Amino acid sequence: MLHISQKFKDMCEVNPHLASVVDYGLIILNLGVLAIGSNAFTRQQRKFPEDFMFGTATASYQIEGGWDADGKGENIWDHMTHTNPTVIKDQSNGDIAADSYNNYKRDVEMMRELGLDAYRFSLSWSRILPDGFANRINDAGVQFYNNYINEMLKYGITPMITLYHWDLPQKLQDLGGFLNPLFPEWFEDYSRVVFDLFGDRVKYWITFNEPREVCYQGYDTVTMAPILNATGIGAYLCAKHLVLAHARSYHLYKKEFAGDDGICGITYAMTWTEPLTDSKEDEIATELMRQADWGIYSEPIFSENGGFPKELTDVVNQKSKEQGFSRSRMPEFTKEEIEFMRGAYDFFGINHYTGVLVSGTEYLQEHPVPSMHDDINVGTFAPSDWPAAASSWLKQSPDSLLKILLLIKEKYNNPVMYITENGWSTRLEQGLEDDDRVRYYRAALENVLDALDAGVNLKGYMAWSLMDNFEWMQGYTERFGLYEVDFEDPARTRTPRKSAFIYKEVLRTRVVDHDYEPPSMIMTIDEGK
């Protein structure tokens, strides 16, 4: 049994925030041990380490625009929004978006205003390789990224690059995209081109952003491009090729480009999942959902045994048999492939937004057969007293960021971690006073401090997002920016929200001051930063 020390109980009185996690055994254990001998523990005194990397994140299709500028090729989001515009809530697209293709200097100015250490952004594959293959490089696209990177470096801002944030060249999609077994080779070829072009100045690389959203949403459903809807087949097949592609890119980087200081990882969408009750059914359901959400993409790389997760594989094998398939819908790896992928990482990237309670018996829904959701057959529930954002899927779930960090620490032997996205959506009508976003960020940053206290090997935090952008199927109806973007204005003027000032103050002081109010809404650059 866990022993809760009197000292820890006293601390909870000083810091009511801690009391709210009292039911979470691991945390108690970790914090309880740490608290003894630490007197810098009250909320106001806790400081982020000087070398903790603070930044913001964006993605190419969501901000760049210039969809066909200067030789860029078509990608799957260009293709889908142009040929099938009604799939987007407001029938908009990313043709111009925040026009960062032309506004990149203003973007970097905003990074300086906030005092960022780092900026995470992604490369548009078809801007660099219009046909997807490495035979033809688009010099204008390369020039754009050189300008962006060099402008950041000029002001001491560290670039962190995502190789793939969902905008596959359409020509590769025409060949099957992630479902083609040659995809890992295509991705390695693209990786080589960009490591070669930018690797001299860029030392932080993420291969894929959110594999679940690529594979499950894109190939198994109709909720992301290329809306393939190959239910029960697409996600698993895509998963196999995605993790192999990651490993090829990782090994290439380490062998030929990383030098002493370059690091490469992969980023997962980590919704916190917790059993609804303490029943065996809910426990099993939670594990299956974790494996379907992210374990299928993380186990081959981060687990000791490698390969796809066992419980999910067993379920899919069994159901495939019952459904009359002559082989399992869950593809297999060779021994060599398993070894090649195992340990192919320098860090674990976490995009975290929200949490759900999971049940094996309640809240179940009808799903197509076969489909991944029919395979795992779980119900989810988010309590109505969790504050809701503009996005239907996004609620502020208590301490879910801390719980995720502790889970990964335990599960994968405390790997180096970066929070590569975390944020909150509002509607445009709300204006610049985004107090709900401020509340969300403060709670998340307290969780970051809790995690650091508990010994989590967490090295940085990127807020999503620097500015409003094209929110995929939701178009411009949901806003995640620290800066508002006026999408009616040809100049795409950017204006800081209240949350921008709050975030800036955290970065400046390295503490979370819950009473801080910005003296005005006028943003300046602190020189000397």
Ligand X SMILES: *[C@@H]1O[C@H](CO)[C@@H](O)[C@H](O)[C@H]1NC(C)=O
> Annotated active-site positions, please?
210, 421
User: Do residues 33 and 496 touch, judged by C-beta distance below 8 A?
Assistant: no
Q: How far is the CB of 230 from ligand X (least distance, A)?
A: 8
Q: Which residue is nearest to ligand X (CB)?
A: 368
Q: How far apart are CA 59 and CA 100, in angstroms?
A: 11
Q: How far is the CB of 107 from ligand X (least distance, A)?
A: 36
Nearer Cβ to ligand X (346/374)? 374
Q: How far is the CB of 228 from ligand X (least distance, A)?
A: 9
Q: Is 84 in the site for ligand X (CB under 6 A)?
A: no
User: Do residues 452 and 512 touch, judged by C-beta distance below 8 A?
Assistant: no
User: What's the Cα-to-Cα distance from 165 to each of 121, 142, 195, 368, rounded to whole Å?
Assistant: 9, 17, 16, 28
Q: Is 231 in the site for ligand X (CB under 6 A)?
A: yes
User: With CB under 6 A, what is the number of residues at the site for ligand X?
Assistant: 4
Hey, which residues between 359 and 418 contact ligand X (CB under 6 A)?
368
Q: How far is the CB of 445 from ligand X (least distance, A)?
A: 40
Rg (CA), the chain: 22
Nearer Cβ to ligand X (191/217)? 217
Nearer Cβ to ligand X (228/394)? 228
Q: Is the dihedral of CA 510, 352, 496, 426 positive or negative?
A: negative
Token pair belonging to 201? 């100045």
Nearer Cβ to ligand X (229/377)? 229
CA nearest 462: which of 70, 59, 79? Answer: 59
Q: Where are the beta strands (DSSP E) in 71-128?
A: 118-122
The phi, psi pair for 158, rounded to 5°, reads -85, 120
Nearer Cβ to ligand X (223/328)? 223
Q: Is 229 in the site for ligand X (CB under 6 A)?
A: yes
Q: Is 457 in the site for ligand X (CB under 6 A)?
A: no
- Cα-based angle 123, 185, 226 (whole degrees, multiple of 5): 55
Q: How far is the CB of 476 from ligand X (least distance, A)?
A: 23
Q: Is 259 in the site for ligand X (CB under 6 A)?
A: no
Q: Is 222 in the site for ligand X (CB under 6 A)?
A: yes
CB atoms near residue 522 (< 10 Å): 8
Q: How far apart are CA 385 and CA 383, in angstroms?
A: 5
Distance from the Cα of residue 348 to its chain's centroid: 11
Nearer Cβ to ligand X (29/87)? 87
Q: Is 223 in the site for ligand X (CB under 6 A)?
A: no
Nearer Cβ to ligand X (53/235)? 235
180-219 mask for ligand X (x: CB under 6 A)?
----------------------------------------
DSSP string, 317-379: HHHHHHTT-SS-SS----HHHHHHHTT--SEEEEE---EEEEESSSS-----SS-HHHHH--E
Q: How far is the CB of 168 from ligand X (least distance, A)?
A: 20
Q: How far is the CB of 381 from ligand X (least distance, A)?
A: 24
CA dihedral 468, 474, 475, 476 (to 10 degrees): -40
Binding residues vs ligand X (CB under 6 A): 222, 229, 231, 368
